[in-house]
């Protein structure tokens, strides 16, 4: 299948690479050239094509055109405005970034009026999903979803998956709540390992993490990433610093309040991240180190250290 792919960040680049490796023809565009050159070095295939502009990318696609946008939620509106100049009735536009579901609801309605199939897809799994398969939370046009199933199947291989969850911003709503839950779990892991680290027993934290992965109730993806981080540095010394947030945690809390739902754990973990921006005690805590290490392990996020230097991405 043929697809245009706009945005080659940490996630977008690997997704484009995965699609090419599974036989799809992928036309890419990125604002800066460095990610394109890196992708070309990795992917030695005639199925990877590079467009000089968004206009040229779209105009070279076969009808119905499929355009996947993988940019930060702050840039989506600008990129969509450019895309809309060149797409036509029956084409498919996908926002695969972390957009707020209300924005996706609005965009879905705007594109629907023009006969364009708009999809908002929440993508999880981090950078390691390239190998394990991406979980894809789909909302928007159902007919558009059915058309791109071959694309989604390729991205989901071997152990990921995709599900159509409803119209408008349904996919991004589910992804938002997913990330809110993620905040709470990461906070719990951080706090738990800090209790162990402060204990009089001088635990080998790596041994504990490995043991917890052997069938315990809290075994799983995130505990696995704690183990990976501890294997590299048992003190997580390069992970001290403020904890960044992508926005979904706050959106989840605000949406819950609109629905009169108490989300004390998610809200508490959000406030902890917010306080970490200025509170040096939090920045140097083992809890913060665990959370920052987790973000780096599964998402490739850079840690802003307390010493004013960026820690390695790992």
DSSP result, 81-125: HHHHTT--TT-EEEE-S---HHHHHHHHHHHHHTT-EEEEEEE-S
Same domain? 199 vs 149:
no
What is the pLDDT averaged over residues 213-226? 97
Considering the domain architecture, whether residues 134 and 240 belong to the same structural domain is answered as no
200 within a domain of the structure (yes/no): yes
160 and 45 housed in the same domain = yes
Same domain, yes or no, for 185 and 88?
A: no
How confident is the model at residue 310, as a pLDDT?
A: 52
Residue 41 lies in a domain: yes
Domain end marker among 128, 144, 167: 167
Domain boundary among 167, 198, 219: 167
Residue 312 inside a domain? The answer is: no
Asked if residue 313 belongs to a domain, the reply is no
Evaluate if residue 305 carries a pLDDT over 70: no
- 277 is written with which tokens? 């921006």
Average model confidence (pLDDT) for the chain? 95
| Residue 143: how many other CB atoms lie within 10 Å | 10
CATH code of 99's domain:
3.40.50.720
Percentage of residues of the chain with pLDDT beyond 90: 91
Domain boundary among 110, 141, 167: 167
- What would the two tokens of residue 265 be? 């754990």
Structural domain range at position 269: 175-299
The answer on pLDDT for 105 being more than 50 is yes
In tens, the pLDDT along 255-277 reads: 999 999 999 999 999 999 999 99
Cα(162)–Cα(166) distance, rounded to whole angstroms?
A: 13
Residue 312 has pLDDT above 60, yes or no: no
Q: Are residues 82 and 189 in the same domain?
A: no
Of 1-5, 25-29, 111-115, 127-131, which range is least confident?
Answer: 127-131
Assess whether 142 and 212 both reside in one domain: no
Among residues 264, 290, 34, the alpha carbon closest in space to that of 186 is found at 290
Crossing angle of helices 205-212 and 221-232, rounded to 10°: 150
Same domain, 184 and 84: no
What's the pLDDT score for residue 160? 98
Residues that are catalytic: 175, 182
31 with 154, same domain? yes
Q: Does residue 309 lie in a domain region?
A: no
Note the pLDDT of residue 207.
99
Mean of the pLDDT values across residues 106-111? Answer: 98
CATH number at residue 218: 1.10.1040.10
Same domain, residue pair 26 and 154: yes
Q: Give mean pLDDT, residues 232-247.
A: 93
Alpha carbon distances (Å) from 167 to 134, 164, 259, 303: 21, 9, 19, 36
Tally of structural domains, the chain = 2
Q: How far apart are CA 87 and CA 99, in angstroms?
A: 21
pLDDT average, residue stretch 176-188: 98
């Amino acid at each position: 299948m043929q697809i245009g792919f706009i945005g080659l960040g940490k996630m977008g680049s690997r997704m484009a690479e995965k699609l090419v490796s599974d036989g799809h023809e992928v036309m890419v565009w990125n604002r800066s050239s460095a990610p394109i050159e890196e992708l070309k070095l990795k992917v030695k295939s005639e199925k990877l094509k590079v467009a000089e502009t968004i206009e040229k990318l779209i105009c070279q696609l076969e009808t119905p055109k499929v355009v996947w946008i993988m940019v930060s939620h702050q840039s989506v509106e600008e990129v969509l405005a450019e895309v809309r100049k060149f797409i036509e009735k029956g084409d498919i536009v996908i926002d695969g970034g972390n957009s707020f579901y209300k924005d996706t609801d609005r965009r879905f309605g705007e594109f629907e009026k023009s006969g364009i199939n708009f999809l908002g897809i929440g993508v999880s799994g981090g950078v390691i999903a390239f190998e394990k398969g991406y979980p894809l939370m789909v909302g928007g046009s159902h007919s558009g979803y059915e058309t791109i199933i071959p694309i989604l199947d390729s991205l989901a291989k071997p152990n990921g998956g995709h599900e159509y969850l409803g119209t408008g911003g349904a996919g991004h709503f589910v992804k938002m709540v997913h990330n809110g839950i993620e905040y709470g779990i990461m906070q719990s892991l951080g706090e738990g390992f800090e209790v162990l680290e402060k204990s009089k027993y001088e635990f080998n934290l790596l041994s504990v993490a490995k043991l917890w992965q052997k069938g315990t109730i809290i075994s799983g993806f995130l505990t696995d990433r704690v183990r990976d981080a501890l294997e590299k540095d048992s003190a997580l010394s390069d992970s001290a610093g403020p904890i960044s947030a992508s926005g979904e945690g706050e959106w989840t809390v605000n949406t819950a309040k609109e629905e009169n739902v108490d989300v004390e754990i998610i809200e508490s973990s959000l406030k902890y991240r917010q306080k970490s921006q200025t509170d040096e005690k939090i920045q140097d805590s083992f809890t913060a180190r665990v959370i920052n290490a987790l973000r780096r392990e599964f998402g490739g996020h850079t840690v802003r250290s307390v010493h004013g230097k960026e820690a390695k991405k790992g």
